[in-house]
Every structure is written in structure tokens, then in C-alpha cells.
Structure 1
Amino acid sequence: MLLSLPAVPSLIAAPLLPATRPLRAGPLASSHTVDEEQQQRSELHALLKSLEPYAEQPLEDATTLPPAAYTSTALFEREVETIFRPGWLCVGHVCQVREKGDYVTLDLLGELLLLVNDGTRLRVLSRVCTHRWAPVVGEGRGTCKAFTCPFHFWSFRLDGSCIKAPLMDDSTAFDAIEHPLHEYRSEVVDGFVYVNLDGAAPPLSSQLAGMSQRLVSWRPDEMESYIELTYDCPFNWKIVVETFMECYHHLGAHEATFEPNFPARLSWTEDARPAWTVGHAKPRPGREVSAFEAGLPRFPHLETEAERQAFALYNVFPSQLLHAMPDRVLWFRLQPLSAERTVVTTFCLVPPGTMQMEDFEATRDEQRELMDKINREDIAVNEMQQVGARSGAVRPGKLNSKLEKALWQLNAFVARAVCAH
């Protein structure tokens, strides 16, 4: 079964990998008895049967998923195997690894990933040494010429090939070329780096062609990273996606932040494409300009009025979240750790040259404070929602077919995947 860590009582905007709380979610040897395993299989079977109708549920009848879909460890394990490993997961942006030797590490679903620029292209490698499995580089980011395992000093080039394995010439039938770091299948689309863990997914770029056309005026591959905030959240990954994709909660959670400028009633969601969907919100009449004032330069190539007034919320299924505005693009990277724990990192991307603004640091500090405030408004209600999902009294709730259409779309995506086999 997968590692299931206890819910986190407080939230952090801090280093991604605290030493006392390793971010691991991968298969472990089961300690369950035969009876416990049979009970889990029975409970999962019943839950999957209850999810089947969501694959084709009419929008007018839309409800939330059953509460157990947010608390069940067995269902989370199935999501990992049927949604996350077979799918495309966004792990970074090209601005993080612009130069040769730049790298970023990320632990995702038990895999120790290494996003690196090898001078010719970006790769997503395993940072696990092919000798005795120690990581060849520590957690974080940096720039280097090669990776050397601290255990026995095996060394690897930026492309993952093995350079040196000390004293292995004494071993028979050893050839360093046969021991590269594992490389995961990856694609770069619109500046974002995606990984497919099982290596069998259909190509992604063609699936996102329509979304790429929508974003072309933002020139996303040229964006620069402006702010990065990380939160260790005690709730299910689907709750993060659901809350991001609907503006209905502006009425409550964001009463003083988003609702005055982007009222819930002026939001809507388009019909979903197979790989992505997008929702929108209009500025409150009379605030079409002030709603976007943040002290940041706007993207210079926005051509249409719709682009200059954009408040577009994208979900690349299952878990990439992207918020496009005229002066910044926010994207959320999710690391699901268990049924009730998700690490969420929020990035703010801005037009090239923003960091050269005269009052850059003051503006960035102000925007970081605002981003953190809004994120914590969401986190507060999401924590309450996860607690409520554990109650034996709750049942699937009726959704607003206009304002919560994106939840209905996500429900169908999840149900089709987990019930397919």
C-alpha cells in the first residue's frame, strides 16, 4: 500500500522537503492481514461501483463525489495507478533550468525526479544511482557539470550516462555505458515540462494544441519565475483542483479579496476537451482596469480585448492548474502524498524584464503577501472540507451546474479512469 502520513496541523510556505517529513508516496510492503486486505478490496469495490455513474452523469444532475473518494487510501492507490502514472504530470517550467547544468529535484509519487538542462535539451531523470540506489544529488536546485553519488562516487553526465564507477574494472562483465540514470519520458509544451511515469501515454503536445493557441500571446516559454510558495496541505488532491477551478467560493472564502473585483456570478466554464478544460471570470462592471492593477508590467503581445481582460483558469488533467491574467500567470504544481495529504507549490510567472523594474523587490514582496493571503483563504476552507468528508453523516452534495461545472468535468475524468478496469 502507499505511505499514508497523518494530516498536517499547520501549513507552511517553507522549504519543500523538511528533513523530518519526507515527501514520499510509493508502494510499500504491506503489513495488513489477509482479512484486512479482503476488507479493503471489498470497500474499494463498493466505492468504485458508486463512482461508475459519474462517468456519464448529466450536468443538471451533477453532485460531488462520495465523501469516501477524498479519504479512501485504497482509492488513492488506484488513482496513482490509473490516473497519475499513466498520465502527463507537470513538474516544472523552462525558466527554472535555462542554462546548461541547471537542475531542479522533485519527489513525485515515490519517484525521485531530476529535471536537468544537459546543454542540448531538458531531461527528466531519476536521481537514484544505478549502483546501490542512493540519490546522486540532494534535494533542491543548483547548477553542476556532473552528478556524483556520495555512496561510492559513481558519476553521471548531465544526460544521465555513467562517466565513472571507481574500481569496477575489477568486476567482470562491467560496462559503464550500460548503467545510466533512468530517464523518464517527458515533453515541453508552452514552456512547461511534463513527465509520464509509465512511459506509455499518447503524445501530449497535440492534446494541448487548442490550449497552446489560447496562450500564444503570453509567450509562456519566455516567462520568468517571480514568486514561489509551498504549502503542505492536509487534504485530498481533488479538493485543490476543485477549488481552483470554480469561482463560486469567491462569495465566501474570498469575500474581501476576489469577490469585489471578480464576482462569482460572472464566472463560467467551457465544455471540457479530453485533456484539459478552462473556466473564466469577468471583472465587476466599472472595475475592468483596476481589477488587474498589481504594479506589474503586462504581457506585451496581448492583442485582443479578451486577452487584456483575461481571468482564465486552466486544468490540464489531472492536476496542472494554470491561471492566466494580463500581467502574470500563476501555476500550481501538486504532489499527492496520500488520500489526505497534498503538497502544493504556487509559482508566479511574469513577462521578461519584470525583475529589472525599479521597485521590483517592493512589488514582489507585496504580491507574495497577497498570493499567500489568497492561498491561505482557500486552504482554511479546504481543511474544513476534508474534516467534513470523514463524517458518517455526509452524502454527495448538489453542485451548481453553471458555477461548478468544472467539478462535474473532473468527476467524470476520475470516474472513467478508476472504473475502467
Structure 2
Amino acid sequence: MAEFFASMPPSFWISVAAILVLLALSGFFSGSETALTAASRARIHNWVKAGNNRAKIVEKLIADKERLIGALLLGNNLVNILASSLATSVLIALFGDTGVIYATIAMTAMVVIFSEVLPKTWAISKPDEFALGTAPFVRPIVALFAPITFAIQKLVNALLRLIGARREGDESGMTGHEELRGTVDLLHKEGEVVKNDRDMLGGILDLSALEVSDVMVHRTKMLALDAELPKEQLVQEILESPYTRIPLWKDDQENIVGVVHAKDLLRALFKAGGNVEQLDIEAIVSKPWFVPDTTPVQAQLNAFLRENAHFALVVDEYGEVEGLITLEDILEEIVGEIADEHDEVMEGAKKQPDGSYIVDGSLPIRDLNRALDWQLPDENATTIAGLVLDEAKMIPNVNQTFTFHGKRFRVLKKERNRITELKIIP
């Protein structure tokens, strides 16, 4: 065997060395493609902010993934085809026509093991570090192949449009919010993010998609007092209320004339020496702040912070009061239910021994989803009663049952055409 190889001409060894170099280049292209496409954009961006020059190169490369992948695939295919051609010519010279078979078997094994599986496994295990290592070498290759990859991209896009797989203006990839939400959900599923943190991050992402009508306290559950009540009765009801800000109305409940703060009332009562009759209620009533029901929750949060306020009344397009919204209502969309000594643990829903829940019809779907980790849709309805009406396409009767979204809903109570209580069986 030693004599056989010793008798080989120098051109044989040059070809063998060239094949090995080409296989190494193929492994480099395969590993770089895997690492650069799997690299964490967030981590790379943090390294860029820290002044890492190689991270800057990676960020620029992955900004145009079609161009990057096109260049790497082009280079990979060139070296693979060239290596296969050299191997075929060498083995034909040694074994004749059967060398084609030997070359096919040998090159397939070597390409799969050393140019595909090995480098890609290495790259996927540490994609960010691998990407940083290969980026300086990939950049000139991408620039070199730019004209060819540009032409290939145009041809491919034209063919995709021809078969209807792509249209002008099609968005590629997910939005930033979708990517963040998907990442958080995946990390929660893998146990790296607890439920409360997942819900909090999800609540922050949801703010831009919500309107105040989605999170407000509906007028049917809103406490408002008649400003014309006797002073003693008015003071008693305000102090016995679990709320610190109470709307006052005159003549008609829709005619909100002001908002009284319990602390202001207590201060005024102290100054009056505890004599209710000496109180000047109108002096401590603040002007009501009305906001449209279509106001984005994010905008209302900014307005609360800007105005140093905590309370606003929500009106519809006709100026009719729909409910109220507080800073706490918005914060609860982020951090979950904020309970104090006057609140129930989960207001509006009580778990039964059989695992079912008795639920108030006005309970927001989002609150129930967050508390019980359910996935009931809230695109077309805000409350549980609204969800049943939307799905049933009718006004159900008491004891009527519906099954949808993996749960059974039974109507327990109604007031006129409004569902006030349901039983939900998972």
C-alpha cells in the first residue's frame, strides 16, 4: 500500500489536498449559515452597544438575510461541486469507470459528516460565538458574490410571484411584539420564566392594542352618588365605600358634576371639627375628566402620568358615560390584579368543588385568562357574557349550555337580556 501511494504523481496529492481544503470551506459555509441565521439579534445588539466590532459586522450581515444566505449557499455549492469533480477525476484515474461510484459514495459521506452535520452541530450549540468568529471572513465573501446573489434573488422573487407564493408588499417575518411574545411564551413553557413574569410582559405588549373601553369599570358596576343627598348621608356613604374617588351626579345619573376624594373629605371634616353640617361639599369636589372610549390605553396611561391624575370618566361618541377608568385599572393590565383588604382574591369568579367556576357575566375575559391561565379569545368581546353572546349568535335562556374553546358555558342568571352569571366547566 505504501509503495502504491509513493508511486502517485504530485498532481494526485495536489488534488487530494485541494479536496480536503474544499471540504473545509464547505464546512465553514455550512456552519456560518447556521450560526448567522440562529444568532440572537437581541444579544448581538447588546454586544454592539458594548462596542464589540465583530458584533457590528454580524448585525449588518443578518440585517439582509436573503443576501447573506444566497452568498453562503452559492459558495457552499461551488466548493462542493468542485470537490466532487476533483474526487471523481482522481478516482477515475485510479479505478477507471468504476471510480465514479467510489467518488459518489466517498464524497457523499465526507460532505454529510465533515461539511454538514459536524459544522452545523457545532454552530447551533454556540451560534452567537460562532457567528462572531466567522463574520469577518463572511463579509468579504458576501460582498464578492453580491452581484450574482442580487441577480439570483430577483429571479427567485419573480418565480415566487409567478406561482403566487409572494406578492408585492408582503411582509417577511414577525413583528417585534410577536417575536417578544413568542419568546416569552416559549421560555415559560421551558420553565425559565414564571407565569407572573410572562403575564406581566404580555400585559406591557398588549397596552398598545387596547382601548380604555377594554379595561374600564362599566357603568353598571360604577359607584356614583347623588350630590343632592343630605350631607350626613353623603359623607357616610363616601366613607363606607371601598373607593377613594367617588363621582357625584345631579338630577340624572348621566350628569356627572364632579369627583370627591375621600382624603379631601376627611381633611375638610377635620377642619370643621367633625361637624358635617359645616362642610362645604362643593369646595372639595374636583372637576370630572372625561375621555373617549376609543382612547388607547397606552395614551391614557401617559395622560395620567402627565396630568398627575388617577381617575377619568369614559364617554361614548354621543357623550354618554360608559364607565370609569383609573390608573390602577391600567397597572393591573400589566402586573395583574392588585388586591387590598377590601378586595376578593379573584373578584367575580368562584371555584367549585367539581373544578368548575361560577363567573359574573361582567368579568373581563382578560382577567379570567390571566388568573386561570386560559386562552379564551377577547378580540370580539370584552366580558365573559359578551363572549357567550358572540359565540352563540343569540340571547340564550337560563340553563342553556354552549360548548366552545374547550369549555362548557351554562347560563345561570339573566336580567332582561343581560347575562349576569355563568358556570364554566373546563
- Per the normalisation by structure 2, the TM-score is 0.25
- Structure number with higher relative contact order (C-alpha < 8 Å, ≥ 6 residues apart): 1
Q: Which has the larger radius of gyration?
A: 2
- Per the normalisation by structure 1, the TM-score is 0.25
